[in-house]
Structure formats: C-alpha cells, structure tokens
Chain A
C-alpha cells in the first residue's frame, strides 16, 4: 500500500516536472501589452479570441488580456496599479466613468497616441453617437469597444394570448400602459413590464431620447459646475407615471442592474426594458418567442432624438514604457478594422459601431435575419444634440447610486415623484460639487 502511494507521488512529481519543462518559453522578442477588462463569461471568451487573433496576426507584441471583475473593480485595480507605478497598458471602463478618466491625469488620449504612432484609423467611419460620447474638443480620448443601448423586449406568446399583434411592440408609453392592461386582463402574466438598470434606462436614456436635458452644462460636457435637471416637468411626468403603474402591476419594479431580467425570462412580466447587450444571452435562455422594439417614447410634443451608448471603452494608461505604445496603437487599430468590428458585434450582440461594419452586415442580410440586432442601432442614428450626446458627470457611478435608492422610495410609495427626484437631485448635486472641488484644474 505504502509502496503504491510512494510511486504515485513519484509519478505525479515527474509529470509536474515534465509539464513545467514542456511549457514553451515565451519568445524573448515579444513585448507584452497588458489589457485589463470587465468582460466575464461568454463575453470574456470573445475578448480572449479577439486577442488571440491579434497575437497571431503579428510577431512583435503579445497582448495579455485579464478579466479583473466588474467595471468598478477593474478601475480600483487599475488605480492601485497606477499608484504603484505599474499600470496595465489598456483598461476597459464603462461609459459613466468617462469624466473620472478624463480628469484623472492618468490616461494617454487615444487620438494623440495614434497620431504619435502614425497609425491611421478612420474615425469618420464610426457612428456619431459613439464618437460624440467619448470625444473632448472634437478629439477621441478613448477607444469605443463594447456599445449597447436600452431597448424594449416583449413576449410574443403573451401578446398573442391577449389578442395583441405579436409583430407590433408598443411604440409609445401610452401603448405600453394600454397593452399592459390588456395583457393583465388576459391573465397569464403578473405584470406588464419591468426595467433593468433603472437609472440608466428610465432617466439617463429616456431624457436624451426625448431631447430633454439630464443635467446643466450640456449634460456636463461644457463645465464642471454641473447640476442635475431630472426633477423638472418631464422627469416628474415619466417617473410619476411609473409610480402610478407600479400600483396596478402595469409596471413592476424588479431591482437594480440586471436583477429584473428573470421576471421577463420566466414569463411573469410581458415586457422588459434592458440593454441590447443581453440579446445574445436571451437567445440561449429565453424559452418563448420574443421580439424587440425601440425604447418607448412619449410622443408629441417631445421630439424623438437618440438614445445614448452604454458599455465600455478602452483607455490607454500613462506610466507604462513609452516604447510599448507602438504595440498598443497596433492593437487598437486591429480592433477598429471592419472585420473585427463585425465579428465582435455578431458574436456578442453589442451594436456594430462603424458604418462599414453596418453596411457589410446589411449586405449580408444580417439585420433581416436578426432584426433584434437592428433595434438599438436604429435608436442611435442621426446627429446627437446638446441633450443627447451623452453624460459627462463626475463620479457618475456614485450619482447613479444616489438616484436609484430615491427611485425605490418612489416606487414603494414612500415618497412622491417630486419628493424623491428632488432628493435625488440634491444628493447628486452634492456629489458633483465634491468632484468639481477634488478636480479643480
């Protein structure tokens, strides 16, 4: 008995040794480019594949992609690494962190990097809402990577059961209310609709969608002394309506982030407003026949503008070896190429963000076959106005964290829409003031 154990250990040790020796030594000539991202699961694998393709396409650089958790966790890790003077070259961060990154003094602007490295990327090819969001003074500061926008998902089978046309999602909020009542009356569903990422879908996107200002200074683009404007007439109307609907189950609040998704997936709610980024996941997990429609609109007198892009962009960090920037530039150029753009979008469900990629996908009847991938894109067409370019608020993640508890108080009936939104504005403004003070030029 003892003999076998011993020989087993010996064999294991030999195997281990062989494994160590057999791992190919990295080619010495390759420079490593570190890329920290927040893509988990299937998205993470897709990032890995993209990086593999780049590494195989040339022999000078080796991009090492590392999933560092959620967006805030990636940022925390990057800040710690930057302070220890050992930052990664590229960091993926989400839309609402844009102002924080711009003011950080820790980033090397993408437009400048590409100019220095004499790498030409045709930014004119990128769709306007994306470029506008991440540009400052007409120059792109971070590389758009994964972009999405909130859309409406609806349960076609529940629509049929309630005598509604399954080919016609509700276009206006009025429709949403009426359809929900019919759906509830027909039985089979417990709620008309629910909303994921409540602040993002119901305020941050609903305001630009109606060409309404979310905050002063053109949503923060033109100055730091910004104040929220969500407690105006439009905000009260919209949130007030949601609160009223919450009482008779037309609307059912389901929590923050993606927590409400199961209410739709298990058939409780007939409609869901959520990011277009979940299309890929829904194709696998939703058992019934479903479709998508544009984010509902209030109609006249409000103008239909555009929604804004959510998702992440790639920031290039300062504090790395200047010589490495050449490889970083090549990697960014690689991602921007039409083939990679198309592949990324088709594989993940994120919207394609270059005109060429969109045109190629159209030519291949991709959107005819996958109409749901067209929905978000259709909301992003056109030239953004001062109200719909995006949001450039300092510590926006914290602002969102100030808004969402107030929304919860409103939907729980503890506060009126006015009381809740006034409180959200007061708290949000404090945070913005703090950010302005900490980032005095």
Chain B
C-alpha cells in the first residue's frame, strides 16, 4: 500500500478531525450512554435513577420473548441478505447484457434504494394488506387462500423480508454492476475459447472475481438488517402478529419509547451491539480469508 507522508505533524490529525468528531459525537458517545444506562433503572422522566447492576441483563436473559426477538433478527437478517444479495447479483448480471435502453434499466433498478423505508412500507401495505390491499383482493377471486399476515406470523415475516430486501436491492445492484464491468473481457473470452459455457464461466470466473464485492455486500446487508430495518417493521407490522416480526432493534424502540423502560432498552441495544460486532468479526475471521482481492 502506498504511504502518504505529511511534513506537518498536526495536519493529518486536523484533516481527520471532522470525521473523528462525527464518530465520537454520534457513535461513541451514544454507545457509551447506552452502556451506562443499561446498569440503571430509570423512571420515565429521569428523576429517579437507581443502580441495579446487571439486573437489566439477567431479566432479558430470562425472558423468552427476548430470545424470540433474537431468533427473529437472525431469520430476518439472513433472509434480507440472501434475497437482497441474490436478487442484486441476478439483476446486475442482466443489467450488464448488451441490450437496448441499457442506461434506462440501469437507472431504474437503482430507484428502490431512493425510497425511504417507511414509504416503502406503506407501498407494501397498500399492496398486501388483508383489509385493503390489492393483492389479497385479487387473490380472493382465484383462490380460497386467505393471505392474512395479521394472524399468520411466517407470512408477516416473509412480507417484511421481501419488502426490506426490495428497498436495499438497488444498492447491491450498483456494486455488482461495477464489479461485473471490472471483469476483463479477455479472461471470459479465453474461457469461451476453451469451451466453457455461460454457467461454467459464471461459476468459475465471474463469481470468484466478484467475491470481495459479495463479501462486502453480505457484511453491509447483515448490519443494515440488524440496525437499519426499524422503519419497515414500524410501518408494516409493528412487530406483530404475536411478536412474530419483533426484531431486536424494534424491541429496543418499543420497550424504550412506548414502554419507557430505558434501562432494559439500553441493555438490549448493548446486546444488539455485541451480536453485530461478533457477527462481523466472525465473518472477517472465517470468510474473508478465503477471498483473494
């Protein structure tokens, strides 16, 4: 790697300062506050604060609902990542074919990423709501199947997974398109000359060459699903039915802001932080080693 050398010793720090300030104020400080709060029991308006040690954590670990939310988070995160990255790769492969109006398609496939999660949630509600959605209305004409995710937990989960993956797929496509365009034409041509079909070329050349990007996207999508998916859940299911789509980040909000139980909410966000840090570390430890950049 190329090393930059600064003559002035203060300059590099000065240049880093804005980013450091943002990181400290918006990441480290709130994280520290959460950690601190998680050891206290606080009344709603913060006038009575009692130190309770690890009480908030032990209560969580004894609560079956909490395990349910952890499980939900993993199902949700892997679902969103699987569908989002998979569909992203597929669409990106299509968007790098030589077809008419390519620029239009390439632009259009990025659009969902520009839609705020709550708006996307409302769009999905209008399409899929059992009471006023378009799809259940049409479905009623052709089948007796009742598309009622207000009572069927797994349908609700599938719905929020697909909706979230849809909002995020544009981001994945953008990276995959860039990655696909960077693969040298000559390598692929050489493979065709050797008699490799398009599937073989993809499996043996394209996919390995895309690996760094795929890895990056998997990490980013997982983190996004754990942290950034609140808007969708809030807009569509509010964690229901029966807690089936209550993921960790939504429970943090629900217990903290609706339930006004700041201690437990803080403890949950600390746990969430640990889970995501752990997950990311694991990926770097085991998956990244097999990737050549």
A binding-site residues for B, Cβ under 8 Å:
72-73, 75-76, 79, 82-83, 100, 103-106, 253-256, 259-263, 266, 268, 395, 397-398, 401, 404-406, 408-409, 411-412, 414, 427, 431, 434, 437-440
What residues of chain B lie closer than 8 Å to A409, measured between beta carbons?
241-242
Complex: chain A residue closest to B151, CB-CB: A412
A71 to chain B, nearest CB (A): 10
What residues of chain B lie closer than 8 Å to A76, measured between beta carbons?
257
Considering the chains assembled together, what is the distance between the CA atoms of A401 and B43 in angstroms?
19
Select A253's contact among B46, B150, B238, beta carbons within 8 Å: B150
26 A-B Cβ contacts within 8 A?
A75-B44, A79-B44, A79-B46, A83-B46, A103-B44, A104-B44, A105-B47, A105-B48, A253-B150, A254-B130, A263-B131, A398-B261, A401-B259, A405-B243, A406-B242, A408-B151, A408-B240, A409-B242, A411-B151, A412-B151, A414-B242, A434-B41, A434-B261, A438-B42, A438-B43, A438-B261
Interface residues of B in 228-279 (CB under 8 A from A): 238-243, 254-255, 257-261, 264
Question: DSSP class of A's interface residues: helix, strand, loop or mixed?
Answer: helix
What residues of chain B lie closer than 8 Å to A431, measured between beta carbons?
259, 261
Interface residues of B in 133-155 (CB under 8 A from A): 150-153
Considering the chains assembled together, what is the distance between the CA atoms of A292 and B45 in angstroms?
40
Interface residues on B, range: 20 to 34
What residues of chain A lie closer than 8 Å to B44, measured between beta carbons?
75, 79, 100, 103-104
What residues of chain B lie closer than 8 Å to A398, measured between beta carbons?
254-255, 258-261
Interface membership of B65, Cβ < 8 A: yes
Interface membership of B67, Cβ < 8 A: no
What residues of chain A lie closer than 8 Å to B239, measured between beta carbons?
405
B165 to chain A, nearest CB (A): 23
Interface membership of B284, Cβ < 8 A: no
Complex: chain B residue closest to A190, CB-CB: B140
Given the known A-B contacts A79-B46, A427-B65, are A401 and B132 also in contact in the complex, defined by CB atoms under 8 Å? no
Considering the chains assembled together, what is the distance between the CA atoms of A406 and B41 in angstroms?
27
Considering the chains assembled together, what is the distance between the CA atoms of A137 and B255 in angstroms?
30
Given the known A-B contacts A72-B257, A401-B258, are A255 and B240 also in contact in the complex, defined by CB atoms under 8 Å? yes
B179 to chain A, nearest CB (A): 41
Check B131–A262 contact: CB distance below 8 A.
yes
Q: Rank and list the top 5 A-B pairs by shortest CB-CB distance, nearest first.
A: A398-B259, A408-B241, A262-B131, A262-B132, A408-B242
Considering the chains assembled together, what is the distance between the CA atoms of A280 and B283 in angstroms?
56
What residues of chain B lie closer than 8 Å to A414, measured between beta carbons?
242
What residues of chain B lie closer than 8 Å to A262, measured between beta carbons?
129, 131-132
What residues of chain B lie closer than 8 Å to A263, measured between beta carbons?
131
Check A412–B152 contact: CB distance below 8 A.
yes
Select A254's contact among B150, B152, B259, beta carbons within 8 Å: B150
What residues of chain A lie closer than 8 Å to B257, measured between beta carbons?
72-73, 76
B binding-site residues for A, Cβ under 8 Å:
41-48, 50, 65, 129-132, 150-153, 238-243, 254-255, 257-261, 264
Most B Cβ at <10 Å: residue of A75, A76, A408 = A408
Check A254–B131 contact: CB distance below 8 A.
yes
A12 to chain B, nearest CB (A): 28
Check A268–B131 contact: CB distance below 8 A.
yes
What residues of chain B lie closer than 8 Å to A79, measured between beta carbons?
44-46, 260
A107 to chain B, nearest CB (A): 9
What 12 new A-B contacts, CB under 8 Å, besides A253-B150, A398-B259, A406-B242? A79-B46, A104-B43, A260-B131, A262-B132, A398-B258, A404-B240, A405-B241, A408-B240, A438-B42, A438-B48, A439-B43, A439-B48
Complex: chain A residue closest to B152, CB-CB: A412
Considering the chains assembled together, what is the distance between the CA atoms of A406 and B44 in angstroms?
26
What residues of chain B lie closer than 8 Å to A434, measured between beta carbons?
41, 261, 264
Considering the chains assembled together, what is the distance between the CA atoms of A105 and B242 in angstroms?
34
Complex: chain B residue closest to A253, CB-CB: B151
Considering the chains assembled together, what is the distance between the CA atoms of A104 and B240 in angstroms?
30
Check B132–A266 contact: CB distance below 8 A.
yes
Considering the chains assembled together, what is the distance between the CA atoms of A92 and B65 in angstroms?
32
A270 to chain B, nearest CB (A): 14
Considering the chains assembled together, what is the distance between the CA atoms of A82 and B130 in angstroms?
41
What residues of chain B lie closer than 8 Å to A260, measured between beta carbons?
131
Considering the chains assembled together, what is the distance between the CA atoms of A401 and B258 in angstroms?
9
A301 to chain B, nearest CB (A): 33
